[in-house]
Structure 1
Amino acid sequence: MTDRKTYEILADAFLQEGVAQCFALLGDANMNWATALAGAGCGMVYVRHEHCAVSAAMSYARATGDVGVATVTCGPGVTQIMTALPAAVRAHIPLVIFAGEAPLKANWYNQAIDQAPFVTACGAAYHALHHPDRMAVQVRDAFLQARTERRPVVLGVPFDLQAMPWTGAQTLPAPSQSLMPDLSPVPPHPGDIAGLARLVGEARRIVVIAGLGAVRAGAGPACRALAEGCDALLATTLPARGLFHDDPFNLSIAGGFSSDITRSCLAEADLVIAVGASLASHTTDAGKLFAKARVVQIDTAPAAVSQGRVAAQVHVRADARLGVEALTAALGPRDGSSPWRTDALADRIRTTPADSTPFPQEPGLLDPRDVVSALDAALPLDWEMVNSSGHCSYYFAQMPGRPVAQFHTIREFGAIGNGISYAMGVAAARPDRTVVLFDGDGSLLMHVQELETILRHRMNILICVLNDGAYGSEIHKLRAEGVSDEGAVFGRPDLGRIARGFGAAGVQVDDLADLPRLVAGFDKTKGAAIWDFHISDKVFSPVIARAHPPVHR
């Protein structure tokens, strides 16, 4: 027997899993557990909205490569995270969320709800911890499931059970990491490599596209060597953008966010080698991006169909790095009579604007493409960049020279409003770095209350906002369809004044020539700030232009 409470033992079980950071919003069903966790030395970020706790844990997990941990209370605390959960599921981000549950002994409790169907409907797993003797093992198993399945696991623990004296085992079970299989990278089958080498030998326009699987496997150098060996160009998926940031033949993003030169080159490709990439619809632009190419997928779990489309014609099951290295070693000499990797093409890749569509200049307003270009030139390369979602995210993604380790993107669910949470997660993961959030006005205003969280936790986060006074994607789509955009337009709030109201710094940037001075100033003061860029709402991205031709504009 012990005089310790069950919630204290559960906190110990989390700490044994190596949890160093938790994102929290307290309520009846989690406050004692969270207080015990904090008292035992775990770092805590106390946010102002439950959604932001889970979203911050997502970006923390992506930045660290570990399991993200968050806690919310039962009932409304759980329903508030219904947007974050599917985003984490689709991004394959491992999370463990301590949610609590209504007390079992109560005949009625106003926040009681059957939580499991909500959670499982989002694609996450739900574990109800109702038997104290099994609770510590269930915590361990939740972390094991999150690590192996790379998705969120929500724990429901009735708070009357949490408050009971602990009567279970005095020792905790072995942590999940000690049970994880220590698997060696999977080498490719020699026959698969021989067949792929023949395809490469027959192709004349090859592009190697790397995804997050290539990043995790450390396959970047191998992909470069392969491209050099077969006269290929390089590209990445959006989450892996920056993997080849300093390569002259880097086309950057393959997908809906592709630049003009990238789309041109991919249209010429007759062979695409996708390395550690799921070949999702966005990566292929729904099959239109490299329509003439034969597609090969090198992956530990190659997919026949990805998001309703045939993923590839040829599949090689292998670790990304080992598969690419084996292919490079198997290549024979190339003809070389009509090389693709030329100095002229490298110059075009370096100098061609991502989007050269002409738009009329509006007095007193900035072109978002100019804003991003100026920010890219002014911001230090070692600052952490966080890209949000929405119309603005296309422009902010056009920074091909930024390394993958310092550019964070999670947008698989397409939800806006996550940016400030993602920035907090990165700031918690890398507290010695300056974090720059790129966001839109509509997205930022959804959770602008977290400015107070940033200040209270002394995070160094600079927020750069493209402010078009509207929900950008919606106004451009509505205008393209020739209908009123009134419901998506709300005017340009003074975001600098809002920031100052919270106690942060805030300024409206009208002259892009001021950016080097502003960057130098922020580098000295650190803290939190919003830079508000009023942009033209007449400029729309190529993504919008392709999906919604401007016949009614």
Structure 2
Amino acid sequence: MKNDLPGYELLAQAFHAEGVRANFTLMGDANMHWTVALSQLEGVETVHARHEHCACGMAIGYGYATGKVGVASVTLGPGFTQTMTALATAARGHIPLVLFAGDVPVNPENAKWYNQGLEHAPLALAVGAHHIAPHSAGRLLPSVREAFFIAQTERKPVVLSVPFDLQKQRRVLEDYVPSSKFLPNLPPIPADPRAVAQIVEKIRSATNPIFIAGRGAMYSGASDAIRELAEQAGALLSTTLPCRGLFDDDPYNLGIAGGFANPAARDAFSRADLVVTFGASITSYTSDGGSLFPHAFVIQVDSNPLGLKDGVRAADLYVRADAKEAAEAIHTALKEYATRDRRLRTAANAERIRDLSVDRRQFSIAPDTVDPRAIIEELDGIIPKDWEIVSGTGHCAYFHSQMKNRRPENYHVVREFGAIGNGISIAIGVAIAKGNDKVVLIDGDGSLLMHIQELETIRRQGIKLLICVLNDGAYGAEIHKLRSEGIDESSAVFGRADFAAIAKGFGLRGAEINSLGEAKALFDDYIEQDSSEVWNIQISDQVVAPLMQKLMSQGLR
């Protein structure tokens, strides 16, 4: 590292040494020097967003797709306040992120009064982020290392607020030592033999066992071990939403556990007397507020099990262990006993699961609109299975969560905070991370309109992305809730925006879909050209997602 450089160049070199090769930014006077310096380093791609929220959202998508720390940058004050929802999304989703935020000068002689100044720390902490504020030149580089270390080890966003007068101060420093040199290389946690024996006894006595795999199982490579254990134990399989698709080729897979559970899963879980989760935090989403498997004895196998999650007891038995290590140990111990009754793994039950997995409720579909379930099935058959699917958030998200035989590594869903409007920025981050043109965003119209300006970013940056808008002309969840209560829903209806025309206005391609059978020719045409494209898919506003219907029937919102 060179000597006698301005702080912003030293900071940029430190980020580069941390392995940063993509920076998502909206420049202002407090971060512009650092942004330019980083962009000039080898291999770094700089993506200039049109909104600070979206810069953070892009970093979230990049981090989610790569497993690395995503990096975003904004200026101080109003630039920073725009990032609150994105930071909360990263915090709830346990996504490692470093946000470089410029800050007011630390030396009062440099700015006796600054109209954009405000305390970053209380806001960062309020949304679940960590905050670091180096207030001396000697703390600049150690603060970078600390930010990356915390982001990786605690899997959370870190806000690095750097006064811009320190960024300009020249300093002679020793070579930077990146955080990777300090990351502990810990072996997977083996399961305690006593805990394994307890689980084996529970499996042997259970009549309707179900195993759920979460992200911890995916990260540890436990899918095959869990499959083999389920086969031996006569258990059914399921996953959390972020892990959806992990067992799709297994005839005894129920799909998603939680609010997005299909009819087959709800039927099976209602009769479960044992649920064993591997690498899943058992959030309120996974248990559907405690209603999904009300009669089951629940065992949580996780490297960091939590007794209390989302305000309720997570499980009845907790086992601190790596998912793969535990599944293999349970499998080995269970071999000592005769093969259990395999009543759940019969041809008849596989057929029942297959038949009940499809939502067959009937709805009235208006002319020139399509049933969202049918169009998603059509898209699922057209889009290659190895393409990246980015899931938007909102009422329509249930429908595309049911796409089949797509690996969780290729299906990107960040829904822990429940915020709409993140889809387009996360999709841009995924596209930059993957470096190819095989990324599809499926989002709702209300969500996409919140940050439609990023279509300009897509065009300017030369990103190729297919955006499928499920357009019902309204905030879907709200109209269904209002209707169920007999309240006029017109305030939640804003009309069907012409997304095809909007896309063309931004210099992209656009197409209209209002009947089934149109998507195949459009997709064939899309892959032959180089521009991003928006499909304005006119869906019925009468089709209600099963979770929404369940909530409405219970009088819940």
Report TM bin, short chain. over 0.9
Aligned residue for 2:535? 531
Counting aligned pairs with the same residue, the percent is 48
Q: Which amino acid aligns with 2:460?
A: R
Aligned residue for 1:516? 520
Aligned residue for 1:222? 225
In 1: Cα distance, 2:18 partner to 2:227 partner: 37
Q: For residues 336-347 of structure 1, what are the structure 2 equivalents within 5 Å?
A: 336-337=340-341, 339-347=343-351
Contact 1:125 / 1:152 at 8 angstroms: preserved in 2?
Answer: yes
Aligned pair partner of 1:396 in 385, 396, 400: 400
Cα shift at 1:302: 1.1
Cα shift at 1:371: 1.1
In 1: Cα distance, 2:459 partner to 2:346 partner: 50
Contact 2:4 / 2:172 at 8 angstroms: preserved in 1?
Answer: no
Further displaced range: 524-533 or 310-319: 524-533
Q: For residues 498-517 of structure 1, what are the structure 2 equivalents within 5 Å?
A: 498-517=502-521
Q: Match of 1:258, SS? A: coil
Aligned residue for 2:195? 192
Q: Which amino acid aligns with 2:230?
A: A
Cα shift at 1:338: 5.5
Q: Which amino acid aligns with 1:452?
A: E
Contact 1:201 / 1:334 at 8 angstroms: preserved in 2?
Answer: no
Aligned residue for 1:448? 452
Aligned residue for 2:128? 123
Contact 2:96 / 2:151 at 8 angstroms: preserved in 1?
Answer: yes
Cα shift at 1:455: 1.5
Cα shift at 1:519: 1.4
Contact 1:87 / 1:413 at 8 angstroms: preserved in 2?
Answer: yes
Contact 2:3 / 2:172 at 8 angstroms: preserved in 1?
Answer: no
Q: Does 1:422 align with 2:426?
A: yes
**RMSD, aligned α-carbons:** 1.5
Contact 1:126 / 1:156 at 8 angstroms: preserved in 2?
Answer: yes
Cα shift at 1:353: 4.6
Further displaced range: 455-464 or 210-219: 455-464
Aligned pair partner of 1:164 in 162, 166, 169: 169
Aligned residue for 2:275? 272
Q: For residues 100-499 of structure 1, what are the structure 2 equivalents within 5 Å?
A: 100-104=102-106, 105-165=110-170, 167-172=171-176, 174-331=177-334, 332-334=336-338, 336-337=340-341, 339-499=343-503
Cα shift at 1:458: 1.7
In 1: Cα distance, 2:216 partner to 2:132 partner: 29
Q: Which amino acid aligns with 1:248?
A: P
Contact 1:133 / 1:168 at 8 angstroms: preserved in 2?
Answer: no
Aligned residue for 2:7? 6
- The 3 A distance-change label for structure 1 pair 208 and 413 is same
Cα shift at 1:503: 1.1
In 1: Cα distance, 2:339 partner to 2:389 partner: 42
In 2: Cα distance, 1:411 partner to 1:388 partner: 8
After superposition, what is the alpha-carbon deviation per residue over 1:212-233, rounded to whole angstroms, capped at 9, x for unaligned? 1111111111110111110111
Cα shift at 1:393: 0.5
- Unaligned 5+ residue runs, structure 2? none
- The 3 A distance-change label for structure 1 pair 550 and 184 is closer
Further displaced range: 272-281 or 97-106: 97-106
Q: Match of 2:495, SS? A: coil
Further displaced range: 228-237 or 483-492: 483-492
After superposition, what is the alpha-carbon deviation per residue over 1:391-434, rounded to whole angstroms, capped at 9, x for unaligned? 01011101132111111100100000000011011101101241
Q: Match of 2:102, SS? A: coil
Contact 1:384 / 1:433 at 8 angstroms: preserved in 2?
Answer: no
Contact 2:62 / 2:430 at 8 angstroms: preserved in 1?
Answer: yes
TM normalised by structure 2 equals 0.96
- The 3 A distance-change label for structure 1 pair 229 and 522 is same
After superposition, what is the alpha-carbon deviation per residue over 1:276-313, rounded to whole angstroms, capped at 9, x for unaligned? 00000010011111111111110111111111111111
Contact 1:480 / 1:550 at 8 angstroms: preserved in 2?
Answer: no
In 2: Cα distance, 1:169 partner to 1:338 partner: 66
Cα shift at 1:43: 1.3
In 2: Cα distance, 1:421 partner to 1:279 partner: 28
Cα shift at 1:334: 4.9
In 2: Cα distance, 1:283 partner to 1:258 partner: 9
